[in-house]
Amino acid sequence: MQMTGNTILITGGASGIGRGLAEAFHSKGNTVIIAGRRRALLDEVVAANTGMKAIVFDIDSAASIQNLSEQLTRDYPALNTVIHNAGIMRAETLLNGQVQDAEATITTNLLGPIRLTAALLPLLVKQASSTLMTVSSGLAFVPLAMMPTYCATKAAIHSYTQSLRYQLQDTSVKVLEIAPPYVQTELMGQDQLIDPRAMPLEEFVAETMHILEYSENATEICVERVKPLRLAEANKDYQNFFNNLQKF
């Protein structure tokens, strides 16, 4: 993709992978707008990155998404890149009969990006060149059973992205999917930040940016650490991989 001169919206840009990508694109001279629920965290990122912009919005709210779309269209008419990074990950015990976490996960991880895509496509298709990126997961391809709805939403995002790419093939919008491995973020709590099994965030961001810049025809952005998950079925090792993953 074009790496400079873009106007980029990154949801969930105040922490983790979202912040890492925001700062990487900002350092290349792009106009970067981070969006999320937590004003204090957004302000912290903006203070550390002169010129970066921030908008408070709630990915779970259809009204908030519509307001965000209207604000972006008004204030950033050159918006040509959207990165759907906002997401939550919660462990679930399916035998307890509770569905609150499942419903919240579906709303944030799946319905939110679908709504925001629909709201922003009229602006993106007007640009001479634009990019829409979803963020799935290596767990879209081999699920971690303790996180059933998270994995299901990421599998759905993978499928949705393929359909979106096909439907937009004759427009100016390039559709990409970032599929991260287990990365040192706070997605599952503070312990994940220092878990030696997780890929350091800086390494993940650097490798992802390299692929985006130099792999012109790539539609799935997969760092080396995620390829065993992505290719487990193709390598005819799915069941063994699935069984071993549950020992996490």
Q: Which residues fall within 8 angstroms of residue 235, CB to CB, at 6 or more apart?
A: none
**Which listed residue (150, 160, 166, 238) is catalytic?**
150
Q: What is the rounded distance in angstroms from the CA atom of residue 92 to the CA atom of residue 232?
A: 24
CB atoms within 10 A of CB 141: 23
Contact assessment for residue 86 and residue 12, using Cβ atoms and an 8 Å cutoff: yes
- Does 150 participate in catalysis according to the annotation? yes
Q: What is the rounded distance in angstroms from the CA atom of residue 198 to the CA atom of residue 91?
A: 18
One-letter amino acid of 224: E
Catalytic residues: 150
